[in-house]
Every structure is written in C-alpha cells, then in structure tokens.
Amino acid sequence: MKITVIGGGSTYTPELVDGFARLGFPVQEIALVDPDTDRLAVIAPLAQRILAEQGHPAGVSATADPDAGVDGADAVLIQLRIGGQEARHLDETLPHECGCVGQETTGAGGLAKALRTVPVVLDLAERIAARAPDAWIVDFANPVGIVTRALLDAGHRAVGLCNVAIGFQRTFADWLGVDHRRITLDHVGLNHLTWERAVRLDGVDVLPDLLADHGEALAERLRLPVEAIRRLGVVPSYYLRYYYAHDQVLAEQLGSTSRARQVAAMERELLELYRDPELAQKPALLEQRGGAYYSEAAVQLVHALTADTGEVRVANVRNNGTLPFLSDDAVIEVPSRIDARGATPLPVAPVEPLFAGLIAQVTAYEELALAAALHGGTDRVATALLAHPLVGQIDLSDQLAQKIVAANHRHLKWV
C-alpha cells in the first residue's frame, strides 16, 4: 500500500508518520510531496528514522512533483497551507482592521484561506484522479468543510477530517478513567462548528455527570463560562467561542501576537531539531504545534476506507438528508460509517433550534464562499462575508472583501 502526503514538508508530518508506525498500519511506501525541497530534505529522513525506530518496514520517498508522488497511491492525505504562515498571519490580523475576529478557518480569515486553497486542491485532485483513480482523498486542509464540498462537487473520492471529535473523546475518557474505545459521541454540526450533545460510555449518556463533575475544567479548556456551558447542556467545540464571545476574543487578539507568528517561530525550532541525525522520534515541542490526535484519526480513517471495515468515525460528509434543514449537497460533520464506498452519515436526532439556526447560516456562507473560490470576483467575496454571522454587515463585507482580495492577489488567478 502507498500513502501520499501532499504538504509532506510540514513540520507536522513526523506526527503523522509516527501514527502510521505506532499503530502498525500496513503501508509499504509513504510518499511526501511538497514544493519546498529544502524542507523535504529534512522531514523525509526523520520520517524514515521514526519508522525504523519503531520497527516499521515502510520506506519514505520525497518529491516536489505531485504527479510522481500520487502515482499508484491508495490514499492521498492533503495537509497543505497555501501562502504559509505569512498568509495565515494576514488571515488572523487583517479582519481586525474592520473590527472582526481574525481566525484562519472561520470568518473573514477562513474565507481568505478558502479562496487560496480550493483551486489548488481541485487541481491536485485532477492529478490524483489521473494517476491513482481508485485512491481516496482525505482532506485535512482548512477550511475542511468548504474544501471537502469542492472535492465532492467535482466528483472526487474524498472525505474530510478534523481532530475536534477525537480530542474530546480522549479527554472525556481520561476524565472518566476508561479506555477511549468505550466512548462514543453525539457529535453534530459543521467543521469547526460542532456540539457534543451526548457522551456515551458503553452506550449510556454520561454527559450530565461530566458537566457536573468536570464543568470547571471544561470551561477552562473552552474559555467559556461554566454556567453557560451547563445551561446549554452540551459541549461546544472551542471554535464556538469566536461566535459566543466575539468581542472578548477580538480584544484578546488585539493585545497579543498572532498564532501564525507563534507557529512560525516554533517551526524554525522544530526544523533545527529535525536536522539532528540522531533524532528518531517526534520531539515534545511538536505537541505545541497543534493537531492533537490527527495522526490517529487519519490512520483510523484510511484503514477503514482501504480495508472496508465499516467502522464508525466522525467525518465531513455529504448531508444527504441527515439534517433536513440543509440541502443534500451540504457537507456536515457527524459520526459516519466508513467502508470501501466512502463515508455514510449515521442518522442524527433532531437538532435544537439554537444550534440548527447557526448551522444553517454558516452552511449558506460556505456555499457562497465556495462560489467565490471557484469563480472569483470581489462581489462574490463580499456576498459570502455578508452571509457569515461573524461579519454580516454590508459596509464591513465590502471593506473586508477589498482587503482580502488585495492581500491575496498573488494567490488568486482571477485578480
């Protein structure tokens, strides 16, 4: 089996490779694809050392040529970042000029990233279809919901993946002192817009007990008032803080260094560590990079797709009637059965109006954002921003659209 990682020069790649090695995934070749050959020259040898250290027989190849990298692949993992940390810094700070939260996956920053990312991913997907027509595309590239919908709309074999659900599963298991495999979640919503409505231990919902016994710890993790979480009776993803505490988050952002700047500094330090020929395991610093449990989520998903296991995993999939207030074409994030046919969403209990309203509004934004990414035009960008609840005003939408297009012009073919 061959697994290709597009964006293989990422400093996160050793975490991903460690997951394949540690979980004993039966892969013969891990192909790392990245235009940054200097990074590949550092990452690929470390990846090979990690595999060897854990006794895994897979070989690692590295190339800047996507066609060569995906040729004959069984699964292709996409984790690219167009524009690097500099573009991310703009995503996180440019919205501040209009009094809006800056974040790389949602709001104005998320739209900017979608504009840069969707055309590149679709081009890569065409190459994959030509060189490895039976391969599954697993998308990590944010904004995952929009990118996954673009892939599915174009007819590609694709599933979107996020680490929010697996992160909650592991946290709850730790708090309860049980094996994480005994925990299942009623996880519903869109990528980076989800709620845990039940936490089942051996099929019994223990969420009320978790909120009672661990509410303070949960509130600290989510940075939301514990009283609000208990009143909601659910566990919102930490991305909901951008909606539920917008003004507070904005004030914090204006007084701090962007996450992009922090990650850029961390990446420089990680790359220095990776150059050590004696290093054969992921360094502790990598845990601060983010993406906890992504490697395990990825291995589980790829295994289920390629081995036709029928396991249930949280994934980004077509709605197809699962949430009746959305179109069938929408992409949602829910528990899904994963097998050789792809991801099929499991039935979902009716969604409460407080959550359904926000899901519907952000889904409308995502549809408009995808249209802007596919067809271009500052007016389309402004329309998408007008639909987003974190912007939603005509003057702000128009101003931000002009700023986003100007700041990203070298990544936008239609400018």
Closest C-alpha among 42, 21, 41 to residue 30: 21
Closest C-alpha among 143, 58, 77 to residue 297: 77
239 is catalytic: yes
- Non-local (6+) Cβ contacts of 143 within 8 A are 105, 106, 110, 113, 114, 117, 191, 192, 366, 369
Query: Angle, to 10 degrees, between the axis of helix 259-274 and the axis of helix 37-53?
Result: 60
What is the C-alpha to C-alpha distance for residues 31 and 313, in angstroms, rounded to an integer?
Answer: 25
| Helix runs in 54-106, H state only | 66-70, 84-93
Chain CA centroid to CA 14, Å: 17
Query: Angle, to 10 degrees, between the axis of helix 107-131 and the axis of helix 144-153?
Result: 40
Cβ pair 146, 366 in contact under 8 A? yes
Amino acid at 243: Y
What is the C-alpha to C-alpha distance for residues 317 and 336, in angstroms, rounded to an integer?
Answer: 8
Q: What residues pair up with 235 in beta bridges, in sequence order? A: 196
Cβ pair 406, 97 in contact under 8 A? no
CA angle 190, 195, 201 (to 5 degrees): 125
From 12, 238, 239, 294, active-site residue: 239
Cβ pair 64, 39 in contact under 8 A? no
Tokens of 106: 């949602």
What is the C-alpha to C-alpha distance for residues 326 and 322, in angstroms, rounded to an integer?
Answer: 8
Tokens of 408: 């990203």
Hey, which residues are catalytic here? 239
